Amino acid sequence: MEPECRVLSIQSHVVRGYVGNKAATFPLQVLGFEVDTVNSVQFSNHTGYAHWKGQVLNSDELHELYEGLKLNKVNRYDYVLTGYTRDTSFLAMVVDIVQELKQQNSDLVYVCDPVMGDKWNGEGSMYVPKDLLPVYRDKVVPVADIITPNQFEAELLTGRKIYTEKDALEVMDMLHAMGPETVVITSSDLQAPLGNDYLIALGSHRKTKADGTRITQRIRVESPKVDAVFVGTGDLFAAMLLAWTHKHPNNLKVACEKTVSAMQHVLQRTIKSAKVQAGEGNKPNSAQLELRMVQSKKDIENPEIIVKATVL
């Protein structure tokens, strides 16, 4: 029996569909983790729909929830996981909580998806307020152990553009220097050796041994592009990366292969199902493109490796 491993996941919540905590909790539970969720927002559905309604948790309310855990002495965690946030004071409060939890447990691993923006047709733009960038760069990333930015977010954090794989490796080194041991650039617009139908992700794991020597493991993962806009994939990716790096702590290659392969199984099942629901010749809508999470339980639990990583 493995010792209990507990995750505090501070992310958004939707009533319908899979994004934020809804996308992260199920896979983590399936993979054997206890998950305690703080819902940074509670919305009816994700904001890609025509309408959404709901409530937003502020930093005082987050602090109050954490105080409750502390009073009961149940604030010991092995992992903290965070994703999309729109508010600087909320993000600063998260950093305070992470620092306090790290005092409780020096082995705590903080997995942060620094969600700030993305590229569309080669042009990057932020979909959170610009004042979040300095908070991520100066406060969040230095306390994080694993970060999962996309290419645009990695460029924002380092102030450096990525045009080649060499640039990307140097940007990952810059990110390591800011704090995190593990950096995964989850998607990029770099040319994939396998061709235009593939998307490149890059990972780097840097460990400092007891004698002070550094070992860096770097990998490239090429996965088939899926022609649809999914929501919640980044949240699912970060959650599964947390799980598989826990199970394979010194093998980023295997952790990423399992994470990306499971993603592919989920996305392929989702697009197939969405097309059936939409009917011949119709474009699937947001509701039809919600991730088929429960239907993918076996693939999340024990993914058949269909995407291999290359060690660089």
Long-range contacts of 167-176 (CB under 8 A, 24+ apart): 168/202, 169/202, 169/204, 169/218, 169/312, 172/202, 172/204, 172/218, 173/204, 175/141, 175/147, 175/149, 176/204, 176/206, 176/216
Which one from 78, 113, 145, 235 is the annotated catalytic residue? 235
114 within 8 A of 153, measured Cβ to Cβ: yes
Report the distance separating Cα 93 and Cα 100, nearest Å.
11
DSSP state of 80: E
Report the distance separating Cα 268 and Cα 294, nearest Å.
14
Q: Which residues pair with 110 in a beta bridge?
A: 80
Q: What count of Cα atoms within 13 Å lies in the side-chain half-sphere of residue 3?
A: 3
Residue 36 annotated to the active site: no
Report the distance separating Cα 183 and Cα 209, nearest Å.
18
**Residue with tokens 């010194």, as numbered in its chain:** 250
Report the distance separating Cα 283 and Cα 233, nearest Å.
19
Report the distance separating Cα 9 and Cα 21, nearest Å.
7
- Residue 101: which residues within 8 A CB-CB, separation 6 or more? 8, 75, 76, 77, 80, 108
289 within 8 A of 308, measured Cβ to Cβ: no
- Straight-line distance from the first to the last Cα atom of the chain, in angstroms, rounded to the nearest whole number: 36
How big, in percent rounded to 5, are the helix, strand and coil portions of the chain? 40, 25, 35
Q: What are the catalytic residues?
A: 235
